Amino acid sequence: MHFDKESRRLKKQQIFSNLLNNFLQGIIVLAPIGVTIWAVLFLFNAVDNILPNILHSIVPSLIGKDADGNLKKIPGLGFIVMMVIVVACGWISSLFFFGRVVSFFDKILEKTPGIKFIYSSVKDLMEAFAGNKKKFDKPVLANIDGEDVWRIGFITQDSVRDFGLADHVAVYVPHAYAISGILFFVPAKKIKVLDKVSAPDAMKFTISGGVTEV
């Protein structure tokens, strides 16, 4: 009798353990999918609402509101229009004449007090990730904390001579599970270039805390 009770108890524990393992496995499978879908939908809706909000603020009578107070719109139309505008601006800015015009306004904004800081900061940040002036495209190992301790980073400046360190380079080290990071001035001799690792893989490996494969 005692053996039967112990057997049933162990069987219940096994069933509970299996249910818990399956539950955790389900979370591991669904969480990345759910977060990705949420992020994509959030960005889609954010961009999709830009144009209707602008038009409503300029001409309130052009776009009405429904019974819930939301702007009436065709889902996806605002997103498509914004994408077309962005692509058109990129194409127009590449033309010689309009490129000169953009460069002219660029210089004005970079010299305007107050606006200069915001404009330059946003511009430099965007160019660091895209365009012809990408900065996070040189993954390296930087010897910062100790003799045999290395951090994954990205060279953003090949020389920091203006700071009085001619033999140093600027290395940006991202944090794990965050969008922040730290800038270090590291001697060039303490840098190892990661020739066999792409910049996206190095960034993904660092941000994930080293759990992803390269």
> CATH number, domain at 181?
2.30.30
User: Dihedrals φ, ψ of 69, to 5°?
Assistant: 90, 5
Q: What is the pLDDT at residue 16? A: 84
Residue 9 lies inside a defined structural domain of this protein: no
Residue 167 lies inside a defined structural domain of this protein: yes
Residue 70 lies inside a defined structural domain of this protein: no
Residue 188 lies inside a defined structural domain of this protein: yes
Residue 187 lies inside a defined structural domain of this protein: yes
Residue 51 lies inside a defined structural domain of this protein: no
Q: Give residue-wise pLDDT tens across range 140-174.
A: 999 988 788 899 999 988 889 999 998 999 999 98
Q: What is the pLDDT at residue 52? A: 79
Reading the chain (214 residues) residue by residue, the pLDDT tens digits are 555 666 777 777 888 888 888 888 888 888 888 888 998 899 888 888 887 777 777 777 667 676 666 777 777 888 888 888 888 887 877 776 777 777 777 788 777 787 777 777 777 666 666 655 666 788 999 998 878 889 999 998 888 999 999 899 999 998 888 778 899 999 999 999 998 888 888 888 888 888 777 7
Say how many domains are in the chain: 1
CA 128/CA 135 separation, integer angstroms: 5
Residue 16 lies inside a defined structural domain of this protein: no
Give SS3 for 176. Answer: coil
Tokens of 166: 């001619």
Q: What is the pLDDT at residue 208? A: 84
Q: What is the pLDDT at residue 186? A: 92
Show the domain range for 141. Answer: 135-207
Residue 128 lies inside a defined structural domain of this protein: no
CA distances 203 to 108, 153, 161, 176, Å, are: 34, 8, 27, 10
